[in-house]
Each structure stands twice: as C-alpha cells, then as structure tokens.
Structure 1
Amino acid sequence: MNDQVSSLEREIEQTRDRLAATIDQLVYRASPKTIVKREVASVKAYFVDPSGAPRQDNIIKVVGGVAGVVALFVLVRRVVRD
C-alpha cells in the first residue's frame, strides 16, 4: 500500500513538472517579443536566402506590386479630379 502511494506521488510530481514546462513554453511562445522575432525572421527569410544572398525574384515581385498599387492610386486620383 505504501509503495502505491509513493508511486502515485512520484507520478503526480512528474505530471506537475511536465505541466510547468508546458506552461513555460506557452508563455514564451505567446510573448510579444517572441512573436515579433518570429515574424521578422519569417519576413527576412522571404527576402534573403540562408546563405545571406538576396532573393531577387521575391524582391522584384514585391517592388512590382508596390509600384502597381502606387500607379493605381495615381490613376484613381486623376480620374476623380477630372
């Protein structure tokens, strides 16, 4: 009987330790600083490959999209003014 109680106490302690570690991981992952770092790394990976060279194809796509949006705004503004 005493062995069963001791075994249960060990199990409870191990479960408590796992739960504490899981909570610590969740707090870390949900931290605003961690989220920002993760997003910055994601954006950087889109424009720079692992060797540090720029990914020209992705850069050209974004620059083209921005230029298209600016051109659209200019066109709409001219049409509205006239």
Structure 2
Amino acid sequence: MTDNVYTSDVTVDSASPSQLAESIRLREERLAENIDELVGRVHPKVLATRAANKAKSGVVDEDGSPKPEVVALGVGAVLGVAALIVGLSGRSKRG
C-alpha cells in the first residue's frame, strides 16, 4: 500500500478501507518507534552511563584534568580529619 496516509488526514467517514489500513499501519509504526526510543532512554546501562558522566563532569574538566576546587576540597577534608585525629590523641595522653 503506497497511499502514504496519515491518521490525522483520514476520517472513518471519508476513507477507503485501504486508506484506513494504511493509516493504522503508520500509527503502529510511529508508536513502535516511540516505544523503542523510550526503552532505550531508561535502559539500566544508559542510566548508569549518564550518572557516571554527570559525576565525572563534577570532578574533571573537559580536558581531563581535575578541577582545582575539588582537589582543594579533598585536601581540606584530609587535613581536617588529620587535625581531628591529632587533637583527640593529644587530649587522651593528658588525662
């Protein structure tokens, strides 16, 4: 069937049976394409890759080098934990 009829162009009152069949076929085809696209968007691998890329973009610049603010935050956290450990260990020796 090569009528190439779209659903919005066809009404039940004015269409021939072959036009209606073609319209239904085209609608089913579009629905199948939409479903395939949606399934692809929510596939676990796609979601995991998207999350990993988002996390990576928060830590690494486009050229692959680490972002300075993230490095500074990490160093600050390590120094803070070290100071806490030293402070607590010195306190227990006094008592």
TM range (shorter): 0.5 to 0.7
Q: Structure 1's 43 and 65: CA in aligned 2 closer, same or farther, altered over 3 A? A: farther
Q: 1:41 aligns with which of 34, 50, 53?
A: 53
Q: Count residues in correspondence.
A: 74
CA RMSD in angstroms, aligned pairs only = 3.1
Q: How do 1:21-36 residues align onto structure 2 when only pairs under 5 Å count?
A: 21-36=33-48
Instruction: List gaps (5 residues or longer) in structure 1.
Output: none
- Between the two proteins, what is the percent identity of the paired residues? 29
4+ runs deviating over 4 angstroms? 64-67
Q: How do 1:1-82 residues align onto structure 2 when only pairs under 5 Å count?
A: 4-61=16-73, 63=74, 71=81
Q: Could you tell me how far 1:49 is from its partner in structure 2? A: 2.1
Of the two structures, which has the highest relative contact order with CA contacts closer than 8 Å and spacing of 6 or more?
A: 2
Which has more radius of gyration?
A: 2
Instruction: List gaps (5 residues or longer) in structure 2.
Output: 1-12, 89-95
Q: Structure 1's 50 and 10: CA in aligned 2 closer, same or farther, altered over 3 A? A: farther
